[in-house]
Amino acid sequence: MKKKDFQIVLSIGSNLGNPKENILKSYDFIEIKIGKIIKKSSFYSSKSWGFDSENEFVNSCIIINSEHPPHQLIKLIKCIEKEMGRVYSNSSTYEDRIIDIDILFVDDLILKTNELQIPHPLIYQRDFVLIPLKEICSDFIDPQTKKKLNEFYIKLKNFFANFSKKSIFVLLYSDET
């Protein structure tokens, strides 16, 4: 009997080495170890979030199909991050990193454990997640809020419209270009 396939949405970021190449390499690892990528966002550049860094991040979101349930998925992600050279420190602050892979959604699952929270609790505070996420699944309905992701994007866009600064995002790469 075939295992159930989960539809998983991941956010991927990097700000060390060659961030774009790091993300592309993570795609390969994900397809080998976790499941087939069915949709990818463009790559976006942004300033660091939660800490100061001279290194800008490159961010992307992907949708994958996988037979791995969340408790296995997080272990596989940590394995990929370590294989790619991610160093975990004991610090409670954010730091530069070669790769960072976060689970945003797994189907319409709501899960909260010491190790994992799905949906990811900071999605709507992080424009570097929400903007690429909107690109690949704007009609997805958040299982907790019961709202479409596009509604959160519109609120975020309106929030930034109140600032005189330009958006922190720069589209770096798209499959369409």
Higher pLDDT, 93 or 58: 58
Identify whether the C-beta of residue 4 lies closer than 8 Å to the C-beta of residue 67: yes
Q: What token pair was written down for 139? A: 């009609």
Q: What is the mean pLDDT of the chain?
A: 84
- What pLDDT, on a 0 to 100 scale, did the predictor assign at position 160? 54
**Separation between Cα atoms, residue 127 and residue 59, nearest integer Å:** 10
Asked if CATH classification 3.30.70.560 holds for the domain at 6-123, the reply, yes or no, is yes
| pLDDT at 115 > cutoff 70 | yes
| Averaged pLDDT for residues 8-20 | 95
| pLDDT at 102 > cutoff 50 | yes
> How do the domains of the chain map onto residue ranges?
6-123
